[in-house]
Structure 1
Amino acid sequence: MLTTQFLIVTALTLLGYCIYWLRKRMQYWQDLGIPCDKPNFISGSLTGILKTRTFADIARDTYKKQFKGTGPFCGFYWIQRPAVFVLETSLVKSILIKDFQNFVDRGFYSNPEDDPLTGQLFLLEGHRWRVMRNKLSPTFTSGKMKNMFPILRQVGVELVRVVEETLKAGPNVEVRDLVSRFTMDVIGLCAFGIECNSLKNPNDPFRQMGRRVFLDQRHGYLCNAFIVLFPKLCRRLHVKMTPEHITEFYMRIVRENIAYRESNNIKRNDFFDMLLELKNNKMMKSEDGQALTNITVEELAAQAFVFLVAGFETSSTAMSYALYELAQRIEIQQRARDEVCEVLARHNDEFTYECMSEMVYLNQIISETLRKHTIVPLISRECREDYQVADNPRYKIEKGTFVLIPAVAIHYDEDYYPNPEEFNPDNFTPEKVAARDSVEWLPFGDGPRNCVGLRFGLMQMRVGLAYLLKNFKFSVSEKTQIPLKYNMKTFLSMIDGDINLKAEKVRS
């Protein structure tokens, strides 16, 4: 009897302490006198997420409320975790660039020892991130991009052929599916050395698994919330994030590809080749001239995997948005087409690596697309040591605090982009870009931890769009979704449904 009573009292005490701890935690910003919305006890400041609001909606709503102008940041709760929601670009610049050493980590969960695919550059922290970044940076130089360019051009030619075949059945084209097959073929070839040919075969297993990466979850909402709140404990408990079937699929492909290339002495000048050089320690050097140690098979697989995660859905979604906007603005589309044709004519109709930099207006269209349709709505960092915001003694960021930079809200701020709801490529004329602070356009982040694959992502979009615009005219059809609906269940700003457009062959 006494034992039972003791257990009951102990359980009630623990429950009471947990409730007290949670209530105190959810009063963090209010107790400091920092402006903050009253959080939901379960979802914090993410009320409506996965059901009625996207992450982009939440970022824009928080930014537009009465908090802007009250200080450099306002309070926010990432579920039950207190977070800083940045409001001023001066603080954005300090976090991403000036005081980067104090905000190196993204604050997301990784556990490479038990879950090898989480050992990717995007998730790594501290020294591990710095070492891997130094190893990968040389693989994304202009010279390396030039070596991979013929692969993209080859897939671009196939893209045109597939669209021509599609138009035989009628003028309506579902461009989201089409460009996702294009980007999957590019990444399959460059990152994994696999000719998946999803443009020819939409049901290719490599493509189907690539889509499942963004849809399949290992855990439910409550378990994911626990991992967010207690990442160190979860690592000690060997908790994994990646679904087992995804880990097995990509690890198998990587091992088979390594064995095939090494046994047959195959070299393709692609990203996988560069990773193999790092694995075999072929005396590669970092940008500062330091020799780089070799990487493991698991590390190689993780970097190839992040190439897929960062380059597949983001690039294809951005290309879809660009075609959607151009289909509604025929004059802008024609101006871009004329430029593409003029540039190619100067190069004897050969699409060279140098052509891309000459397609100035097409690059403006891509930049404006990434502004209006910000694929990654929030950029995250974690504070490594207590940080005092300059000239704001009341605003201090404590060690371990999660920091959120609302890229999508900055992109829609009228102070930086007049009439932000309008699609206007002239926002990115060379003169305006030169006059604008770099942190006012953040589709790839900024500073030392910006997207390492920025060059490749832009190259992929330029090639795909240039081939499509040169050969086809796009316009809205009765099936076109206006306005677009966004998927509520993903962190990325992805389309919910299809983008159907009318396409017709351009007459020579």
Structure 2
Amino acid sequence: MSLTLLHVLITCIVVLLTAVAYLFWRRMNYWRERGIPHDKPSYLYGSFRGLSKSYGFSEILRSMYQRYKGTGPFCGYYFFQRPAAMILDMGLVKNILMKDFSNFSDRGLFYNEQDDPLTGHLFFVDSSKWHVLHGKLSPTFSEYKVRGMFPLMCNGAQQLVQTLDALVQRNVNVEVKELMGRYATDVIGKCALGIECNSLKNPNAECRAIGRRIFTDRRHSPLVSGLIEGFPKLARKLRMAVIHEDIANFFVRLVRENMEYREKHNVRGNDLMNLMMELNKSKKLRYDENDEFKGLTVEEMTAQAFFFFAAGSEKSSSTLSGALYELARQSEIQERLRSEIIETLCQHDNELTYECLHEMKYMKQVLSETLRKYPVLPHLVRQALLDYPVPDHPEYVIPAGVLVTIPVIGIHYDPEIYPDPEKFDPERFTPENVKMRERIGWLPFGDGPRKCIGFRFAEMEMRTALVYLLKNFKFSVSELTKSTSINLRGDTFLKVERI
């Protein structure tokens, strides 16, 4: 290589690196140039310096919300390298989720249906695909359908009692978080996919092992994961994937074997799998030349099965373990709830029915307060499709393409909305107190058109479990019980005694 050619090559590399550095610098000064309050970002981790080392994601969001609330309708931050707006005003939250939803219908998160098919599910996809999927899948979790799943939930709760009985006989200290995960895995497997997971009978069952790995085994480091979310379009062009291949293969096999068995034996069920098979009318493209829906492909079915299995097994179990932890710490609340359960059952010949489950008003208060302290998601994410001037704040504009974050954890721990927010107090959710607050101040399942479609299922699953557990067992803290902060981390050991 001649010196001249080498000089040209070096010059090109320097120019390229300089251009990249400049574009990166501009990106990381996005909010400063617009005069929006924000923390000085780290060039690698954005506003999440210390994540996983000193602080969890929830703690960072909550701290940011508390520091900037009152400075304006939103503050700026950086989701790793991606500029994002954190909403601080409740009126603006309501506009984004409901009134002006058409401009914030997308989440703007990474998904790659071509190279990572399981990411093409209802939670991640945007635009017309979300609208079609939402409309087609929502009937699975209508009140009528969920009511039909109630007997299956009761069977799961009965198995939960038997499993806990056996554990208590060996040791009064029980790790309830994993136990609730096994219960939730069995319930979502049976009710949504029509499969027997047998996690309560066998803690090492394949479904449960995969369910644990979905949230613990990351394909990439936190930094690489942050870069993927920071540059989702580029990540798609680079054919990046975030779900482990063996996890994807498990769900592909699960769906295909389920379909083959049902078709061979003419099996129909009151579940998500049955609905998706009905939508699987064509193996061609989802849309024809007139942009009309033609049916779910097997890959799309698998993505939905993955999402509902993951969300149904993890989120409900986290809420249940949070409820048991709080009830163990406050025996008077536990006793009041147990009394309501026993009294209601007595009025129904000691039989748990769908109707009497909804007569337990204090149960609803306890779960509402649990979901306040331990929300299903610490934040909601949307993306502005067009520039959005904030009403009554002309100097504030949410630019098109910017990630919008609604800090659920900040709102739920805001002392102006919930005085003494660290305290677990079901009285916050008496009908009188609920009427005194903005509805938008409680967002465990989101709100508006993109509210979680499985909220009825999750609430009934948790209520059913608590009825069976508190009717048969007493929970209290022990020397193995660890203190908690915003989210329960690690094992949750409680002392359990048979009643």
Q: For the superposition of Structure 1 and Structure 2, which TM-score range results when normalised by the shorter chain?
A: over 0.9
Letter of the 1:5 partner, please give it.
H
1:46 counterpart (36, 48, 71): 48
Q: Name the residue aligned to 1:499.
A: 492
Is the CA contact 2:368–2:426 (under 8 Å) kept in the aligned structure 1? yes
**1:62 has 2:64 as partner:** yes
Deviation string 1:293-323 (CA, Å, 9 cap, x unpaired) is 5212111111111111211111101100100
TM-score, normalisation: structure 1: 0.93
Taking the aligned partners of 1:57 and 1:351, their CA distance within structure 2 comes to: 39
Taking the aligned partners of 1:179 and 1:30, their CA distance within structure 2 comes to: 46
Structure 1 residue 332 displacement after superposition: 0.4
* 64 and 485 in structure 1: CA distance in 2 versus 1, 3 angstrom threshold: closer
The within-5 A match list for 1:30-41 is 30-41=32-43
2:28 counterpart (26, 29, 32): 26
Deviation string 1:139-184 (CA, Å, 9 cap, x unpaired) is 1111000111111010111111111111211322111121111001
Taking the aligned partners of 2:226 and 2:360, their CA distance within structure 1 comes to: 45
The within-5 A match list for 1:147-186 is 147-186=148-187
Is the CA contact 2:161–2:472 (under 8 Å) kept in the aligned structure 1? yes
Structure 1 residue 222 displacement after superposition: 4.1
Q: Name the residue aligned to 1:418.
A: 419
Letter of the 2:50 partner, please give it.
G
DSSP-derived class of the 2:489 partner: coil
Q: Name the residue aligned to 1:473.
A: 474
Q: Name the residue aligned to 2:335.
A: 334
The within-5 A match list for 1:357-376 is 357-376=358-377
Taking the aligned partners of 2:272 and 2:321, their CA distance within structure 1 comes to: 25
Letter of the 1:210 partner, please give it.
G
DSSP-derived class of the 2:471 partner: helix
Q: Name the residue aligned to 2:105.
A: 104
Is the CA contact 2:80–2:226 (under 8 Å) kept in the aligned structure 1? yes
Taking the aligned partners of 1:80 and 1:472, their CA distance within structure 2 comes to: 49
Structure 1 residue 277 displacement after superposition: 2.4
**1:243 has 2:244 as partner:** yes
Deviation string 1:196-218 (CA, Å, 9 cap, x unpaired) is 21111101011101111111222
Is the CA contact 1:155–1:185 (under 8 Å) kept in the aligned structure 2? yes
**1:355 has 2:348 as partner:** no
Q: Name the residue aligned to 1:446.
A: 447
Taking the aligned partners of 1:92 and 1:444, their CA distance within structure 2 comes to: 14
Q: Name the residue aligned to 2:214.
A: 213
Letter of the 2:462 partner, please give it.
M
**1:484 has 2:484 as partner:** yes
Q: Name the residue aligned to 1:233.
A: 234
Deviation string 1:89-146 (CA, Å, 9 cap, x unpaired) is 1111011111000011112111113222111100010110000000011111110001
The count of corresponding residues between Structure 1 and Structure 2 is 488
Taking the aligned partners of 1:471 and 1:424, their CA distance within structure 2 comes to: 24
Letter of the 1:180 partner, please give it.
G
Gaps of 5+ in 2: 283-291
Taking the aligned partners of 1:338 and 1:267, their CA distance within structure 2 comes to: 40
After superposing the two structures, state which structure 1 stretch, 466-475 or 169-178, moved more. Answer: 169-178
Taking the aligned partners of 1:4 and 1:372, their CA distance within structure 2 comes to: 61
TM-score, normalisation: structure 2: 0.95
Is the CA contact 1:190–1:272 (under 8 Å) kept in the aligned structure 2? no
Taking the aligned partners of 2:425 and 2:379, their CA distance within structure 1 comes to: 23
Q: Name the residue aligned to 1:346.
A: 347
DSSP-derived class of the 1:354 partner: helix
DSSP-derived class of the 2:170 partner: coil
Is the CA contact 2:82–2:231 (under 8 Å) kept in the aligned structure 1? no
Q: Name the residue aligned to 1:457.
A: 458
After superposing the two structures, state which structure 1 stretch, 344-353 or 83-92, moved more. Answer: 344-353
Taking the aligned partners of 1:170 and 1:247, their CA distance within structure 2 comes to: 37
Deviation string 1:393-444 (CA, Å, 9 cap, x unpaired) is 1100111001111100100111111111100001111222233222100110
Structure 1 residue 280 displacement after superposition: 4.3
DSSP-derived class of the 1:95 partner: helix
Q: Name the residue aligned to 2:383.
A: 382
Taking the aligned partners of 1:47 and 1:208, their CA distance within structure 2 comes to: 31
RMSD: 1.5
Q: Name the residue aligned to 1:286.
A: none
Deviation string 1:320-351 (CA, Å, 9 cap, x unpaired) is 01000000111100110011111111211111
Is the CA contact 2:478–2:495 (under 8 Å) kept in the aligned structure 1? yes
Gaps of 5+ in 1: 282-290, 487-492
* 293 and 465 in structure 1: CA distance in 2 versus 1, 3 angstrom threshold: farther
The within-5 A match list for 1:394-433 is 394-433=395-434
Taking the aligned partners of 1:497 and 1:276, their CA distance within structure 2 comes to: 38
Q: Name the residue aligned to 1:128.
A: 129
Structure 1 residue 252 displacement after superposition: 0.4
Q: Name the residue aligned to 2:285.
A: none
Q: What stretches of structure 1 move > 3 A for 4+ residues in a row?
A: none
Q: Name the residue aligned to 2:392.
A: 391
DSSP-derived class of the 1:358 partner: coil
* 237 and 80 in structure 1: CA distance in 2 versus 1, 3 angstrom threshold: closer
DSSP-derived class of the 1:400 partner: coil
Taking the aligned partners of 1:221 and 1:164, their CA distance within structure 2 comes to: 40
Structure 1 residue 485 displacement after superposition: 6.1
